[in-house]
């Protein structure tokens, strides 16, 4: 190691990184034992940093559940050097950035991103959290409320409930049983009753665990490594080193007498799942061989001979997920989750039997070197051609991985197989046995074997979940211990989708945007050859329009059913492509179009497209497959009622504002009418007359793109598509000037304590550059103050955000809040903020205004970091039907011309509560709501606001009686885009 008086440098040539990676790295250890990874990306326009501390909620004191999470929250509330509590977020926001943090079982992670010209200022503010945080007493109460709101939003979410229920199966006294989020009861009410001062305990916690020797820092910027190094040393050398020792938690999570239990859970949503959990060794400790990955590759496989394929053929399963689930260092579980059909739920013991039959097959065959080698080859390919991700993602992941892997493997460790160890893999396999598992059954109802009314039901303490625990039936366990082989279960075959040709022609820069290579009565294909990233990959997108798919909710659901059946039938072949990093998706869009997305290696993508086409055209399905997919669709749509209220508000707003989409209720009603025979009659009509618009982007030439673009048309041979239908029918609601309306509806889940509001202001035509750019600037100016006012200071709820919706020919400014307060009060609070913010804009100084305009420009000109993100920017123009590929570039120039006076005038016309011209629509999702003194004091003001609004009772009749605007138009004449 190279030594410097302020740090020790790791020999960087030992660091394994992808061959595609052109960034420079430097890895140093400061005098205070803080490890720092510096990343120079000379082309980046966004900088980032992330710091992970090796302490999490497993370190919470027994009598203060959630303290580590509370520490994470309060750390943001000012430091000695920067005492203003929103200084950090304000600085980031005004320089095109943002931040976040999270607390897990064994680590707490903090991260930010910012315009690359402002890394130094952001990093200095960030560093102070770990040197001199204030933990201001005045913020304590508010952040306790924030944590409580964060917990409230999860109370009716099955994933959070199940995670806590699993802890009931773990042995008493083990830290893994802890409740990590915390709430007002655990952090305030109970501690106060015991004479415990939470803030004082927080200070003890911070001083005990926040030590530089168990921290890992990543700094990502455009500056040369020496400058990044100087910054990191200067700003972080003062972080205190108290020589903390990372806690090693005991591996015995479930004692022998705790195994072979079954936990029954009544979920919030309608589901029929079984989960098998096997106490397991930590795969990270054996990352060179990755035995857990090897097993999840086989157990989670979906081709012929796999568990899932066999269960699906039986009509018992709709999905299967398997993998090693790491809790913390030294503690893991192997988890298998199966989503069951109605018939599969009745046969749940037979489903479990099939799983154990597969285990027995694995044990008898032993670990297979050819399978390990294939996994190794696929991961080697994926790693070598791994592209850049967003800097914040890179920094965030690496700071966490620095805690887990040796220095030379912090990049490659999670991704690569290094050495084959037959005995180790077989040791892991042998842990999958009938003496070493617990079972979780999640369903709203019992079955022939599970008599719900005979079970002793209890309520879980933190989430209120209904559960019951009992022993697994002894006779069934004996059967599992003496399992026989199933001839239908076998290992997968050699993967036919492993790419072999990685050649890439490094061409000179061409036109920066897609060009039309085909344009006729059935087909329009856009093509852009990659001249930036030079990876052997290709992205293909097709939008297939059929006039009958979108003409009614019934036809829409027939189309959705058909595509889902095709996708599931394809799975036995496409799964091989998926694990070889060539993936596809096929679905019906909100507007009723058939969308097909394929991303992967250019060497094999044509083969996958051919297979997809063959299945679309020549596909036979059974009655039970139809019934199972229909059942899955019905449950998914019904489960919408259990979503968080803010998501319901988003749905209603989208439905009201878009002419060509159907509501959840309309889709559900249509599903009831679907029949097997009618679907078979519908399919030939669906593809009889179609129009395809596609985008092909990546590693191929024009001739190959033309061939791929024609693949569907050549096989389908549809009738010509009328030109009148080619023009997009996407249209958005046009509100009249001065319209103020509120759509009120009840929250569909009576057990959810939260209400929600989506407050939207319709600005105007998105094709109007002046309106569009001024909207961008107002959004930027409003973003941080809105969060600071409504969430941090007012404590309305954990979910508070603002932004812009860009719909066809419409741009909207919105504010969304989810809260225990009722939506009428939230409406009042949003308008109070808008009134205050009008004064804020007027008093903002010229320098602050300039910085915020720069932030808008930074976001508009942010470079795509990889091929997929560049494809997404092109696809935005294709899907919007304006083909305005260089809009952001033009807008960035226009931003420079806008004055503060113009923004004030814009705000007063389109946003100001008192403006006679503004157009406002709110969605109110109401639960019981808080009815406290705050609400009562403001009741007159609330009533005054409500009286100035039209109250919409019937969303369907309101929508029918509204005007919808014009369809999108091409930015330039179509002929000008031709190749």
So which residues are the catalytic ones? 72
699 to each of 507, 531, 696, 705, how far by Cα in Å? 10, 9, 9, 10
Torsion of CA 295, 296, 297, 303, to 10 degrees: 110
C-beta separation of 780 from 951 below 8 A: no
Size (the chain), residues: 979
d(CA 829, CA 823): 9
Q: Where are the alpha helices (DSSP H) in 580-657?
A: 605-617, 623-638, 645-657
Helix (H, G, I), strand (E, B) or coil at 466: strand
290 to each of 68, 281, 602, 915, 977, how far by Cα in Å? 31, 11, 28, 63, 50
- Give every CB contact of residue 559 below 8 A, 6+ residues apart in sequence: 546, 549, 588, 592, 594, 686
Could you give the count of Cα atoms lying within 13 Å of 181 in the half-sphere of its Cβ?
20
542 to each of 364, 597, 869, 910, how far by Cα in Å? 45, 7, 17, 38
CA geometry: angle 854, 859, 864, nearest 5 deg: 140
Strands (E), 341-448: 438-443
d(CA 648, CA 859): 29
Name the region of 795 (left: φ>0; alpha: ψ -120 to 50; beta: rest).
Answer: left
C-beta separation of 199 from 135 below 8 A: yes
Output the DSSP codes for 168-237: GGSPTT-GGG---S--HIIIIIHHHHTT--HHHHHHHHHHHH--GGGEEEEEEESS-HHHHHHHHHHHHT
Which of 546, 513, 524 has the alpha carbon at shortest distance from 974? 524
d(CA 759, CA 770): 23
Element at 573 (helix H, strand E): helix 553-579
b/e sequence 461-489, b meaning 16+ C-beta within 10 Å: ebbebbbbbeebeeebeebbeebeebeeb
Torsional sign, CA 484, 489, 494, 497: negative
Task: Output the six-digit token pair for 576.
Answer: 């091989």
d(CA 595, CA 695): 11
Distance of CA 707 to the CA centre of its chain: 34
Q: Name the strands in the sheet holding 594-601, side by side, starting at the edge strand that comes first in the sequence.
A: 515-519, 523-529, 691-698, 537-545, 594-601, 583-588
C-beta separation of 470 from 455 below 8 A: yes
Torsional sign, CA 511, 513, 516, 517: positive
Backbone angles phi, psi at 527, to 5 degrees: -140, 135
Q: Which residues pair with 214 in a beta bridge?
A: none
Helix (H, G, I), strand (E, B) or coil at 370: helix
* Residue 3 CB coordination number (10 Å): 8
d(CA 708, CA 525): 10
């Amino acid at each position: 190691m190279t030594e410097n008086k302020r740090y020790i440098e790791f020999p960087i040539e030992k660091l394994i990184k992808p061959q595609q990676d052109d960034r420079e790295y430097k890895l140093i250890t400061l005098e205070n034992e803080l490890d720092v990874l510096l990343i120079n990306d000379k082309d980046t326009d966004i900088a980032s940093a992330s710091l992970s501390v090796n302490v999490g909620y497993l370190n919470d004191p027994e009598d203060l559940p959630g303290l580590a999470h509370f520490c994470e929250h309060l750390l943001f509330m000012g430091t000695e050097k920067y005492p203003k509590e929103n200084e950090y977020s304000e600085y980031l926001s005004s320089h095109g950035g943002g931040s976040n943090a999270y607390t897990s079982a064994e680590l707490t992670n903090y991260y930010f991103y910012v315009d690359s010209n402002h890394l130094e200022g952001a990093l200095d503010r960030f560093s102070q959290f770990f040197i001199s945080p204030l933990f201001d007493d005045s913020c304590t109460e508010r952040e306790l409320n924030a944590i409580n709101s964060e917990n409230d939003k999860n109370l009716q979410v099955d994933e959070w409930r199940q995670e806590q229920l699993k802890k009931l199966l773990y042995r008493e006294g083990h830290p893994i049983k802890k409740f990590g989020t915390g709430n007002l009861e655990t952090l305030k009410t109970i501690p106060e009753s015991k004479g415990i001062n939470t803030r004082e305990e927080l200070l003890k916690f911070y001083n005990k665990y926040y030590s530089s020797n168990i921290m890992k820092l990543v700094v990502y910027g455009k500056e040369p490594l020496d400058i990044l190094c100087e910054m990191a040393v200067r700003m972080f050398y003062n972080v205190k080193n108290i020589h903390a020792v990372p806690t090693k938690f005991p591996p015995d999570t479930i004692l022998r007498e705790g195994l072979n239990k079954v936990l029954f859970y009544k979920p919030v949503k309608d589901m029929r799942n079984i989960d098998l959990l096997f106490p397991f060794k930590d795969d990270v400790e054996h990352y060179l061989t990755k035995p857990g990955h090897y097993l999840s590759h086989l157990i989670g496989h979906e081709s012929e001979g796999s568990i899932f394929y066999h269960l699906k053929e039986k009509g018992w399963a709709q999905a299967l997920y398997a993998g090693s689930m790491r809790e913390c260092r030294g503690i893991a579980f192997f988890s298998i989750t199966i989503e069951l059909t109605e018939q599969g739920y009745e046969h749940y013991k037979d489903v479990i039997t099939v799983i154990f039959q597969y285990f027995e097959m694995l044990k008898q065959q032993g670990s297979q070197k050819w399978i390990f080698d294939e996994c190794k080859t696929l991961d080697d390919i994926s790693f070598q051609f791994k592209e850049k991700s967003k800097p914040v993602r890179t920094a965030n992941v690496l700071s966490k991985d620095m805690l887990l892997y040796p220095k030379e493997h912090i990049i490659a460790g999670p991704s690569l197989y290094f050495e084959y160890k037959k005995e180790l893999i077989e040791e892991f396999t042998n842990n999958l046995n009938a003496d070493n598992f617990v079972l979780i059954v999640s369903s709203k109802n019992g079955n022939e074997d599970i008599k719900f009314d005979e079970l002793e039901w209890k309520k879980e303490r933190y989430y209120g979940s209904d559960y019951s625990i009992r022993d697994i039936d002894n006779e069934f366990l004996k059967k599992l211990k003496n399992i026989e082989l199933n001839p239908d279960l076998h290992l997968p075959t050699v993967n036919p989708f492993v790419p072999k040709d990685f050649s890439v022609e490094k061409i000179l820069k061409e036109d920066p945007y897609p060009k039309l290579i085909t344009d006729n009565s059935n087909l329009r294909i856009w093509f852009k050859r990659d001249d930036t990233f030079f990876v052997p990959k290709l992205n293909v997108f097709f939008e297939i329009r059929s006039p009958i798919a979108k003409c009614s909710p019934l036809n829409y659901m027939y189309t959705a059913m058909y595509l889902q059946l095709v996708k599931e039938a394809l799975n036995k072949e496409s799964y091989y492509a998926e694990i070889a990093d060539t993936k596809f998706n096929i679905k019906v869009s909100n507007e009723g179009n058939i969308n097909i997305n394929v991303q992967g290696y250019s060497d094999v993508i044509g083969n996958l497209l051919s297979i997809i086409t063959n299945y679309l055209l020549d596909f036979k399905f059974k009655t039970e497959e139809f019934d199972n997919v229909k059942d899955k669709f019905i449950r998914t749509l019904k489960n919408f009622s259990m979503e968080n209220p803010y998501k319901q508000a988003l749905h209603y707003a989208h439905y009201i504002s878009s002419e060509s989409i159907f509501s959840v209720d309309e889709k559900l009603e249509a599903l009831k009418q679907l029949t097997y025979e009618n679907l078979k009659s519908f399919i030939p009509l669906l593809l009889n007359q179609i129009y395809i618009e596609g985008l092909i982007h990546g590693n191929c030439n024009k001739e190959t793109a033309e061939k791929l673009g024609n693949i569907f048309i050549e096989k389908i041979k549809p009738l010509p598509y009328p030109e009148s239908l080619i023009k997009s029918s996407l249209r958005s609601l046009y509100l009249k000037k001065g319209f103020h309306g509120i759509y009120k509806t009840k929250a569909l889940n009576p057990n959810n304590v939260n209400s929600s509001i989506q407050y939207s202001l319709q600005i105007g035509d998105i094709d109007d550059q002046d309106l569009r750019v001024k909207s961008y600037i107002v959004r930027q100016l409003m973003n941080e103050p809105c969060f600071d006012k409504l969430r941090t200071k007012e404590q309305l709820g954990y979910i508070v955000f603002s932004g812009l919706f860009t719909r066809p020919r419409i741009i909207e400014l919105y504010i969304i809040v989810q809260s225990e307060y009722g939506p009428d009060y939230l409406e009042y609070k949003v308008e109070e903020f808008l009134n205050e913010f009008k004064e804020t804009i007027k008093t903002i100084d010229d320098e602050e205004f300039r910085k915020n305009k720069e932030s808008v420009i930074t976001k508009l000109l942010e470079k795509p970091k990889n091929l997929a993100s560049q494809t997404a920017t092109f696809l935005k123009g294709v899907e919007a039907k304006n083909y305005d590929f260089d809009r952001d570039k033009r807008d960035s120039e226009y931003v420079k011309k806008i004055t503060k006076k113009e923004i004030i005038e814009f705000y007063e016309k389109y946003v100001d509560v008192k403006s006679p011209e503004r157009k406002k629509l709110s969605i109110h999702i109401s639960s019981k709501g808080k009815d406290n003194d705050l609400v009562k004091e403001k009741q007159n003001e609330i009533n005054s606001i409500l009286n100035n609004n039209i109250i919409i009772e019937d969303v369907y009749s309101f929508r029918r009686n509204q005007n919808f605007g014009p369809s999108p138009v091409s930015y330039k004449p179509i002929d000008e885009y031709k190749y």
